[in-house]
C-alpha cells in the first residue's frame, strides 16, 4: 500500500504577508510622510549630542543584554543544577522583574540609592560623610538589564533542561582532568548559544526602545532625543524619521534571527537528584543577595515610601475600576496574540516562510511603543476619514487591541519558533505519514508540542500589556485609565503618594499572573 502525504506544493505564505503588511503598513505610511522633515531638527542638537546618544544607545543595548544574560544564565544554572530549600520561591523570584515596569524599577532603584534614599541616609546616620548621585549610565544598564533578566532566565533554563546530561558526563569521562570551567565553556555554552542569542534579541530590542528608565535616570539616549524632538520641539514627523533612521542602524542588525537550530541529538533529561556543596553554598549566597538587593528590597521600599506620602483617603472605586480594565485589556490582547500567532506560526512552519517575511511581522516589537502608537493613530484617523466614520469608544478599543497585539505577538511567537527549532526535521514528515493531514498534525503534534509555550507566552504578553504605557496612553478610549498609565502620570508630576496604591496593585497583579505560570511551562 502506498502512503500518500498530503503536502501542499511549495507556495508563498500569503497569510504571513498579510500579517506583515498590517503590522508594517502604518510605519511605512508615516515614514513616507515624514522623511522630508528630518532636517529641521538636526541643527538644534549639536553633532556631539547625536554621537553621544548613538554611543549610549549602543552601550545600553550591549550593557543591558550582557547584564541580563549574565544574571539570567547564572540564576538558571544555579536553580537548574542545585537543590535549594524553598526552590519554588527562588524560581518565582527570578521572574519577579517581569511584573514591574522598567520606569517603576528605575524609580525604586533611585529611592533606594538616592542621596535621600535609604542606603545613603543609613550610611550618614552611621557616621559616614557621604553624598553620592547614583544617576549614571551604569545604573541605567543595571536597572534595564535586571528588569529584562527574566527573559534570559526563561530561555536559558528551558535550554538547560533540554540538554542531555549524559553528554556532559561522557565528556568528563573522555577528559577527566579537564577543569569544570573548560567543560562548561567547551560544551554547555556552545549548546546554549542559540537560546542565548534569542534572549539577547529580546533584551536588546526592549532596551533600545526604553524611554521611562532613561528619563528617570537622566541619560540621553536616541530614544530620549527622539521623544524630546516630538514633545519639546513639536516635530512629530522628525521624531518618526529619526526613529526610522536609528532603527535601521540598530534594529535591523537584530532582525537577523538568532533562532538557529539545535543539534539533532539532544533529548529531554530531568535531573531529579541535584548535588549540594561549596558551589551550592556560594550560589545560594549569590542568589539570595541578588534577589534581595536588586529585586525585592528596592521595590518594597519604594512602595512603602510612596505610601508614607499618601495624604487623604484613597479612591478605591477608581482603583478597582482601573484594575478590572487593565486585566481585561491584557487578557484579551493575550488571547488575540495566541490565536493569530498560532495560525501564523503553524503556517510559517508548514510552508517554510522566508526569514525576511517572518521578521517584518515582528517589526512593531522593535519600534518604540510611543512611535508605533501614534503611527497607528494617524492611520486610524485617516481610515475614519476615508470611510466617513466618526470616532467612537468601540473603534478606539479595537484600534488599541490591534496596536497592542501587533506589538506583542512576537513575544509568544518567537518562543514557539524557538521550540520548533528543537524539533528534528523528520518529525513533521513522520507525523504526516501517520496522520495524513495537516489538521491532524496540528492537533496531535503541533498543538501538543507547543502548548506550554503558547500558555507561558500568553502570560508574558499579559505582563507586558499590564506594564505598557506609551501605546495605552496614546490610543486609550475616553475616560479609560489603566494602572500603568495612572502610575506614570502621577509619578511624572511628583504625586508619589497617590501613585502608591496603583503601583502596588500593578505589582500584585503581575505577581498573580506570574504565579499562574505552571513551573514546567515557566521554566521551559
Partner 1 sequence: MQTKRLAARLLLVPFFLFTAYGCVFFSSLNATKTGLTSEGKTTLSLYSARVPELISPVLKAYTKKTGVQFKLHTDKAAVLATKLEAEGASSSVDLFLTVDAGNLWAAAEKGLLAPTQSVVLEKNIPANYRDSKGRWFGMSLRARTIVYAAKKVKAASLSTYEDLGSSKWAGKLCLRTSKKVYNRSLVAGMLATTDASKVKQVVTGWADNLATSVFSNDTKLLQAIADPASPCAVGVVNTYYLGRLVKKDSAFPVNIHWPNQASTGVHVNVSGIGITKHSKNKKAAAAFMEWLSGTEAQGLFADLNMEFPANSSVSASTLVKKWGNFTASKVPLEQLGRLQLAAVKLMNEAKYK
Closest distance between partner 1 and the C-beta of residue 411, in Å?
18
The one-character DSSP state at 220 is -
Closest distance between partner 1 and the C-beta of residue 264, in Å?
29
Closest distance between partner 1 and the C-beta of residue 89, in Å?
16
Q: Establish if 310 lies at the interface with partner 1 (CB under 8 A).
A: no
Q: Establish if 43 lies at the interface with partner 1 (CB under 8 A).
A: yes
Report the C-alpha gap between 427 and 446 in whole angstroms: 10
DSSP 58-99: HHHHHHHHHHHHHHHHHHHHHHHHS--TTHHHHHHHHTGGGG
Query: What is the grid cell recorded at 34?
Result: 515624514
* Continuous segment of H or E residues that includes residue 161: helix 137-162
DSSP 165-209: HHHHHHHHHHSTTS-HHHHIIIIIHHHHHHHHHHHHHHHHHHHHT
Query: Is residue 91 within 8 Å of 161, Cβ to Cβ?
Result: no
Q: Pick from 33, 83, 88, 124 the residue near partner 1 by CB under 8 A.
A: 124
Q: Establish if 328 lies at the interface with partner 1 (CB under 8 A).
A: yes
Closest distance between partner 1 and the C-beta of residue 294, in Å?
21
Closest distance between partner 1 and the C-beta of residue 36, in Å?
17
Closest distance between partner 1 and the C-beta of residue 371, in Å?
11
Q: Establish if 116 lies at the interface with partner 1 (CB under 8 A).
A: yes
Q: Establish if 474 lies at the interface with partner 1 (CB under 8 A).
A: yes
Q: Establish if 429 lies at the interface with partner 1 (CB under 8 A).
A: no
Closest distance between partner 1 and the C-beta of residue 193, in Å?
31
**Which CB, 186 or 494, lies closer to partner 1?**
494
CB under 8 Å to 266, separation ≥6 — which residues? 162, 163, 164, 167, 191, 422
Q: Pick from 218, 263, 288, 424 the residue near partner 1 by CB under 8 A.
A: 218
Closest distance between partner 1 and the C-beta of residue 351, in Å?
31
3-state SS track over 331-379: HHHHHHHHHHHHHHHHHHHHHCCCHHHHHHHCHHHHCCHHHHHHHHHHH
Which region among 72-80, 158-166, 181-189, 473-481 touches partner 1 (by CB under 8 A)? 473-481
Q: CA-CA distances (angstroms) from residue 489 to 236, 263, 501, 502? A: 21, 49, 13, 11
Q: Pick from 2, 3, 32, 129 the residue near partner 1 by CB under 8 A.
A: 129
Which region among 172-180, 224-232, 285-293, 425-433 touches partner 1 (by CB under 8 A)? 224-232
Please provide the size of the chain in residues.
Answer: 524
Q: Pick from 216, 367, 461, 501 the residue near partner 1 by CB under 8 A.
A: 216
Report the C-alpha gap between 295 and 94 in whole angstroms: 9
Q: Establish if 88 lies at the interface with partner 1 (CB under 8 A).
A: no
Footprint of partner 1 (CB under 8 A): 43-46, 49, 114-116, 120, 124, 129-131, 133, 135, 215-216, 218, 220, 224, 228, 230-234, 236, 309, 311, 317-318, 320-322, 324-325, 327-328, 331-332, 335, 374, 377-378, 381-382, 384-385, 390-391, 393, 473-474, 478-481, 489-490, 492-495, 498, 516, 518-520
Amino acid at each position: 500500500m502506498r502512503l500518500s502525504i498530503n503536502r501542499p506544493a511549495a507556495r508563498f505564505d500569503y497569510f504571513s504577508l498579510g500579517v506583515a503588511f498590517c503590522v508594517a503598513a502604518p510605519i511605512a505610511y508615516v515614514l513616507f510622510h515624514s522623511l522630508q522633515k528630518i532636517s529641521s531638527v538636526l541643527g538644534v542638537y549639536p553633532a556631539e549630542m547625536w554621537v553621544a546618544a548613538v554611543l549610549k544607545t549602543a552601550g545600553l543595548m550591549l550593557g543591558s543584554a550582557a547584564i541580563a544574560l549574565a544574571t539570567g544564565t547564572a540564576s538558571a544554572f544555579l536553580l537548574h543544577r542545585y537543590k535549594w530549600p524553598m526552590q519554588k520561591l527562588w524560581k518565582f523570584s527570578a521572574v519577579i522583574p517581569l511584573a514591574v515596569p522598567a520606569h517603576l524599577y528605575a524609580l525604586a532603584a533611585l529611592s533606594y540609592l538616592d542621596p535621600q534614599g535609604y542606603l545613603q541616609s543609613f550610611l550618614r546616620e552611621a557616621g559616614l560623610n557621604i553624598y553620592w548621585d547614583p544617576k549614571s549610565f551604569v545604573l541605567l544598564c543595571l536597572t534595564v538589564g535586571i528588569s529584562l533578566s527574566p527573559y534570559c532566565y526563561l530561555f536559558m533554563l528551558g535550554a538547560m533542561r533540554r540538554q542531555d546530561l549524559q553528554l556532559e558526563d561522557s565528556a568528563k569521562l573522555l577528559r577527566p582532568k579537564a577543569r569544570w570551567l573548560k567543560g562548561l565553556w567547551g560544551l554547555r555554552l556552545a549548546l546554549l548559544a542559540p537560546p542565548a542569542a534569542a534572549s539577547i534579541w529580546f533584551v536588546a530590542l526592549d532596551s533600545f526602545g526604553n524611554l521611562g528608565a532613561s528619563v528617570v535616570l537622566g541619560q540621553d539616549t536616541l530614544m530620549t532625543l527622539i521623544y524630546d524632538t516630538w514633545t519639546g520641539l513639536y516635530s512629530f514627523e522628525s521624531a518618526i524619521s529619526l526613529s526610522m533612521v536609528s532603527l535601521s542602524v540598530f534594529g535591523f542588525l537584530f532582525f537577523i534571527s538568532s533562532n538557529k537550530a539545535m543539534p539533532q541529538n539532544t533529548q529531554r533529561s530531568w535531573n531529579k537528584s541535584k548535588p549540594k556543596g561549596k558551589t551550592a553554598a556560594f550560589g545560594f549566597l549569590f542568589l539570595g543577595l541578588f534577589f534581595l538587593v536588586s529585586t525585592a528590597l528596592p521595590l518594597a521600599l519604594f512602595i512603602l515610601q510612596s505610601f508614607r506620602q499618601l495624604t487623604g483617603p484613597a479612591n478605591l472605586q477608581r482603583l478597582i475600576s482601573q484594575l478590572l480594565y487593565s486585566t481585561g485589556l491584557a487578557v484579551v490582547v493575550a488571547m488575540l496574540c495566541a490565536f493569530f500567532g498560532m495560525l501564523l506560526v503553524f503556517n510559517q512552519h508548514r510552508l517554510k516562510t522566508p526569514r525576511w517575511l517572518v521578521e517584518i511581522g515582528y517589526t512593531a516589537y522593535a519600534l518604540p511603543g510611543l512611535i508605533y502608537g501614534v503611527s497607528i493613530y494617524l492611520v486610524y484617523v485617516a481610515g475614519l476619514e476615508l470611510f466617513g466614520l466618526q470616532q467612537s469608544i468601540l473603534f478606539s478599543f479595537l484600534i488599541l487591541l490591534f496596536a497592542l497585539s501587533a506589538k506583542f505577538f512576537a513575544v509568544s511567537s518567537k518562543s514557539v519558533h524557538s521550540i520548533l527549532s528543537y524539533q528534528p526535521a523528520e518529525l513533521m514528515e513522520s507525523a504526516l505519514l501517520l496522520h495524513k493531514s495537516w489538521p491532524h498534525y496540528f492537533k496531535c503534534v503541533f498543538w501538543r508540542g507547543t502548548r506550554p509555550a503558547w500558555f507561558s507566552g500568553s502570560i508574558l504578553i499579559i505582563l507586558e500589556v499590564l506594564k505598557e504605557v506609551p501605546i495605552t496612553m496614546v490610543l486609550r478610549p475616553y475616560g479609560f485609565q489603566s494602572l500603568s498609565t495612572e502610575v506614570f502620570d502621577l509619578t511624572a508630576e511628583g504625586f508619589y503618594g497617590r501613585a502608591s496604591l496603583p503601583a502596588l496593585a500593578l505589582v500584585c497583579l503581575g505577581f498573580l499572573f506570574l504565579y499562574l505560570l505552571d513551573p514546567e511551562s515557566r521554566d521551559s
